[in-house]
Amino acid sequence: MNRQPDRSAADTAQALLRQAGRWRLWEIGLWLLAVALIFILPSKMLILTEIAILALFAISLDLILGYAGIVSLGHTAFFGLGAYAAGLFARDYFSEPVTGLVVAGLVSGAFGFVTSFLVLRGSDLTRLMTTFGVAMLLAEIANQATWLTGGADGLSGVTVTPILGMFEFDLWGRNGYIYALVVLMVLTYIARRIVNSPFGLSLKAIKRNQRRASMLGISPTRRIVVIYTISAAYAGIAGALLTQTTSFVSPDVLAFHRSADVLLVLVIGGVGYLYGGVFGAVIFSVLRDWLSVITPQYWMFWIGLILIIIVFVGRERLGRWRTYLPGAAGRLKAKAQAAEDAS
């Protein structure tokens, strides 16, 4: 007797997931614009590469913060671990970049799997301090283990061969940007598939009410471990991209300011919305570079002021232009049509 309603509910859920997973025109336009920037801004390739890497790092954090509700102050641990893994692998074993990305993702993902059990219990404050402590521990190891990491001087002797043996990194950063952009596009596509799947829907249920999700038969522990591992792998790949495009890695990749910056990026762009990491990375990087030129000593003040405005005014009010502009355009069109009909 109850099978038909259950089947109807399942079909409805599947239809909603398919609709949410469809590509929007603005998404396609965004990626086409990112490709077009290769020709529009040929002198800004290095900055664009940095934005692409930061966007991927922000997406990795958004997977756990925006969809699973796991707060972290030490996400840079996975970013830095991936950066060092890629650098050491290129220096001592095999310097092909794509292989290095895979290795960095596996190493960071494995470390994320191990440390995921530390964030399963406790409050948000406990998770903040635990993740922060893990990042501090790795940063101190990188600083003291000079025989492995080079210490404060950084890892030397890192050389990267052409991508897939065909595309060499150039001084202007053109191939580096294309490489980072392709990786960002591929991983964003995979992340879209994850969050717009039944697994992603279950993550949202866990975020809203973990006890209720458990009563519905959803296993919070297993799903949190899985998404935390995926998020760590994404962050490690972002760190590997930084190492490969700069041929250098130092303990700065494990510094606290990177965790703070990526949190700020998500606040600016929006949490729980994959493209929030992309938009936030663009806005943050442009503002940082612009303000550091205008006011080199006080650019952080203006960034902080913008953050305060977002918090106090509210993202909903700031984002009303998205609903206001289409509405205004519709009203103008209706008035023009009425005037034409009257004439």
What is the pLDDT at residue 317? 52
Task: Please check whether residues 138 and 88 belong to one and the same domain.
Answer: yes
What is the pLDDT at residue 342? 65
Would residue 122 count as lying in a domain? yes
Tokens representing residue 291 in the block: 């303000």
What is the pLDDT at residue 182? 95
Query: For residues 62 and 271, is the Cβ–Cβ distance under 8 A?
Result: yes
Task: Please check whether residues 210 and 341 belong to one and the same domain.
Answer: no
Sign, CA torsion 221/227/230/235: negative
What is the pLDDT at residue 322? 47
pTM: 0.85
Task: Please check whether residues 285 and 305 belong to one and the same domain.
Answer: no
Residues of the chain with pLDDT under 70: 1-17, 19-21, 122, 311, 313-343
Question: How many CB atoms lie under 10 A from the CB of residue 334?
Answer: 10
Contacts of 65 (CB under 8 A, 6+ apart): 71, 72, 266, 271, 272
Sign, CA torsion 18/324/311/239: positive
What is the pLDDT at residue 7? 61
DSSP secondary structure code for residue 162 in this structure:
P
Give the ranges where the chain is alpha helix by DSSP (H). 3-21, 25-40, 45-65, 76-92, 97-116, 124-144, 146-149, 174-195, 198-208, 210-215, 220-246, 256-269, 274-294, 299-313, 315-318, 321-342
Task: Please check whether residues 101 and 209 belong to one and the same domain.
Answer: yes
Domain span at 91: 26-294
d(CA 292, CA 104): 32
Task: Please check whether residues 121 and 243 belong to one and the same domain.
Answer: yes
Would residue 20 count as lying in a domain? no
